[in-house]
Structure 1
Amino acid sequence: MANIRKIKNKPRKDGSVKISWRATWTGADGQRQSKNFDLKGEAKTWLDGVSAGLVGGSSTMTLTQLAEAHIANFHGLIRAGARRTGTADGYQSILDAHIRNHKIGRTRLSNLRAPEIQVFLDEIVQTGGSINLARQIRRSLGTWCRFGVRRGWLLVNPAQACAVEGDGEKSDAEPFSLPPKAQLSALMKAASESDNPERDSAIVRILMFGGLRISEALGMADDAAVVKTTGGKLRVKERIDRRHRTIDPPKTKKGQRDVPIGQATALAIRAWRLKRGPVGHFQHIDGRRERRLMSGRLFPNPKTGEGVWGYEDFIRDGWMPLMRAAGLVVMLPDGKGKNRPIAAFKPHVLRHVAVSLWLAQNPQPKPKKVQELVGHATLKMTMDTYGHLWRDEEEDDAIAQASERLIS
């Protein structure tokens, strides 16, 4: 609760008494705080700002200006190597596409309240935006407001109390469909019979049996694949940024990992290296947007024989030809009525296939081990994605039988 009260100070030597006005409020930590002013109007203006979560002289700052200040600071962290370009691009995209030209972007921080943010998020969903989009916008708003609190422009985070209706009902948390074994076999056969069977077999096996993200496979340095005739391991230390083609480290420390591979995959990599020949160092941009000398990639750009193979180029020149050869492409009309080739599944699905193959073994690997192999930041993420695969029908039946015996 906030209030303003008149304060009579001790009489001066000339007998006059100075009057001041004390604004008192409850801070974000729950402690009562106060500040004295010469004029009642000054105390009221200050208290109105504090009540809105505003501090200091930022009464004219808008939400757009707050977001721009955060993004500018974020780019400084990128140059220092502490943050990645892809994240900054995400913030910029949210700002430009959804905040800047909306009335909430012009809202002053002194007028920014949780109800206004909640109405905005509800509007995103009600006008056709997806739950995932609304969730991304909410996260960005929360990040910007926390930045404002740290800078002293806001006392509290008005986005913290907001939620996305339907949040928690994530479609990607539902059990996903894996391709039938016949389709996977057809893909493997197409890779072995392609115009470049050594390369295509190696990359399909790395995705299908190593569970790597496509960005990790395309960004892998040649010396990060340690193979022997009996097997080997893939040292995941770098990835390709899809938009900028920069070579970045994984987003989290858990993403840096060693993934074991079997004999057939190791031999496929060896065969590809013999066909490809040695790869040399090259100049490229890293996650700090700095050009530096980098070692050759396991899968260099096929047109030049060096550098990196970008995601879009891989899909067009590598993935789609394989899927066509495997009979896994259909022609579907787009929004303009023109038929477009659509693959039965994307490369990322092979990551799910890898996990399903690990869990098909007896005994199954522990969830913590699967988290380590796929490089998830948290165990919760692993369980949200693959928890439905940990099924033991015999154990389920035993539980059901035992529960009946407790009563009968």
Structure 2
Amino acid sequence: MANIRKVKQRPRQDGSVKVSWRATWTGHDGARQSKNFDLKGDAKVWLNSVSAGLVGGSSSMTLEQLAEAHIANFHGLVRAGARRSGTVDNYQSILDTHVRPHKIAKTKLSALRTPDFQSFLDDVVQAGGSINLARQIRGCFVTWCRFGARRGWLLANLAQACAVEGDRENAESEPFELPPKEHLSALMKAATESENAERDTAIIRILMFGGLRISEALGLADEAVIVKTTGGRLKVRERLDRTHQTLDPPKTGKGKRDVPIGQAAALAIRSWRLKRGPSRPFHHVNGRRERSLVAGRLFPNPKTGDGVWSYEDFIRDGWMPLMRSAGLVLMLPDSKGKNRPHAAFKPHMLRHVAVSLWLAQAPQPKPKKVQELVGHATLKMTMDTYGHLWRDEEEDDAIAQASERLIS
């Protein structure tokens, strides 16, 4: 919060009263700062400079230099084991590919304003970039400015107020549509009839009824899957990084969770284990770039029998053949007019299907329980994603009828 107010001093002996102008600014840490000026115009100039985030000593630093300083610091955190290499690579990619070629990279922090960041994000979307790309760039801007504030180079996070136009509106107005039940049944049937029926049935049931992310399913250690004749439990403790093929912990603490599975899924896993044979430990380089011996995976690389099954190989050799067998692949033209195969939905859709099946039960699980099972960091994230599935038309009608009776 910033303001300028007139300050009257005590009357002098000759009866005159001196007037000054006090500009006050609240920094990012909540500390109030103020400075007196003889002229109101000088106070405005100072306040505009401070509100823009300028701190003495950073006037020559550019946005590009700020980003490089943050990335260098992040590399140190990776070496210390406090952060993951995949994250810092993403920062570097955004900087090199999207920010560095633009004039905003060479702009000094003293000249940057929030509208500069907003204009950049708007240009990304208008030039054909995806909403997701613009969201990632905004996240980098916010992180870099927050880093600068912690170092004393900025007093305010200039990018925090920016938004990706259309992002939140589209997410709320157009919730995802679940596949028809006949499509899901066809996928299950294709899994049971495939050449690798035991493996495919096990992984489809884990995704469809356990609600795991595909990175979590591919990263499951064999020893983290406990099955009994009546059901089982999946101990989600690792995920497979799609880019680097490293086994990393979940991104948030809530991602570490135990997920119950039913009898059919447990039996499918037992059948797959009998077909696969004992899991084999293997040497692996993790996200901290450390080489160590790790436990075998539930779904190892089909070509070698150990190691990890990459996302790209899973899509090519596992998912797409199943979708073709189920009749759920369409040939659609790409940007050059050449027909390409497109699956009716991606593996992540089965995570949404799992939640919808939980909510179809009576009584419905509470939102907090759903958050726990899907591993969302916050309840808000769960409600933003699945809130529309809690709609009950009969309950809505009852509320409307009861409201009318209160007046009539």
TM-score bin (small chain): 0.7 to 0.9
Distance in 2 between the 1:277 and 1:300 partners? 11
Indicate if the aligned counterparts of 1:173 and 1:384 stay in contact, CA closer than 8 A: no
1:198 equivalenced with 2:186 (yes/no): no
Which is further off, 330-339 or 101-110? 330-339
Q: Which residue of 2 aligns with 1:77?
A: 77
| Aligned twin of 2:67 | 67
Partner residue of 2:345?
Answer: 345
CA distance in 2, matches of 1:31, 1:358: 50
What is the correspondence of 1:2-401 to structure 2 with a 5 Å cutoff?
26=25, 28=27, 29=30, 31-33=32-34, 50=50, 52-171=52-171, 174-401=174-401
Distance in 2 separating the partners of 1:226 and 1:260: 10
Post-superposition offset of 1:74: 1.4
Letter in 1 for 2:175: P
Measured against aligned partners, the alpha-carbon deviations of 1:307-345 in whole angstroms (never above 9, x if no partner) come to 000000000011111111111111111112221111111
Pair 316,172 (structure 1): closer, same or farther in 2 beyond 3 Å: farther
Q: 2:168 is paired with a residue of what secondary structure? A: coil
Cα deviation, residue 306, structure 1: 0.2
**TM-score normalised by the chain length of structure 1:** 0.87
Between the aligned partners of 2:303 and 2:118, the Cα distance in structure 1 is 50
Whole-angstrom CA distance in 1 between matches of 2:107 and 2:56 = 17
Q: How far apart are residue 355 of structure 1 and its match? A: 0.7
Q: What CA distance in whole angstroms lies between the structure 2 residues aligned with 1:268 and 1:366?
A: 28
Partner Cα separation in structure 1 for residue 366 and residue 50 of structure 2: 51
Distance in 2, matches of 1:289 and 1:221, equals 19
Answer whether contact 1:284 1:291 (CA < 8 A) is retained: yes
Q: Is the 8 Å Cα contact of residues 25 and 51 (structure 2) preserved in structure 1? A: no
Of stretches 296-305 and 45-54 in structure 1, the one that deviates more from structure 2 is 45-54
Deviation >6 Å, runs of 4+: 45-49
Gaps of 5+ in 2: 5-21, 37-44
Q: Which digits, 9 at most, give the CA deviation of each residue in 1:352-386, with x for residues without a partner?
A: 11111111111111111111001011111111111
Q: Percent identity?
A: 76
In 2, the alpha carbon distance for the partners of 1:218 and 1:382 equals: 23
Residues 79-132 of structure 1: CA deviation (Å, up to 9, x unaligned): 222222332232222212221010101101121122322222232233333343
* 1:49–1:59 CA contact under 8 A, matched in 2: no
Cα distance in 2, alignment partners of residues 34 and 342 from structure 1: 63
Please give the root-mean-square deviation of Cα atoms over the aligned residues, in Å.
Answer: 2.4
Change (3 A) 1:106 1:253: same
Alpha-carbon distance in 2 for matches of 1:211, 1:331 = 28
- Structure 1, residues 33-67: CA drift from partner, whole Å, max 9, x if none? 569xxxxxxxxx99997565233433221101111
For residues 350 and 383 of structure 2, the distance between their equivalents in structure 1, rounded to whole angstroms, comes to: 18
Structure 1 residues 366 and 48, CA gap change in structure 2 (3 angstroms): closer
Q: Do the aligned partners of residues 175 and 24 (structure 1) sit closer, same or farther apart at CA in structure 2, a change above 3 Å counting?
A: closer
Aligned 8 A contact 1:49 1:110 in 2:
yes
SS in 2 for 1:396: helix
Structure 1 portions without partners, runs of 5+: 3-22, 36-44
Q: Structure 1 residue 401: deviation in Å?
A: 1.1
Deviation of 1:215 after TM superposition, in Å, equals 0.4
State whether residues 283 and 291 of structure 2, in contact with CA within 8 Å, keep that contact through their aligned partners in structure 1: yes
**Secondary structure in 2 aligned to 1:169?**
helix
More deviation, 357-366/124-133: 124-133
| Pair 1:57–1:262, CA change in 2 (3 A) | same
Q: Match for residue 15 of structure 1?
A: none
Higher mean C-alpha deviation, range 120-129 or range 281-290? 120-129
Number of residue pairs aligned between Structure 1 and Structure 2: 380
Contact 2:146 2:157 in 1 (8 A): yes
Distance 1:170 1:251 in 2: 25
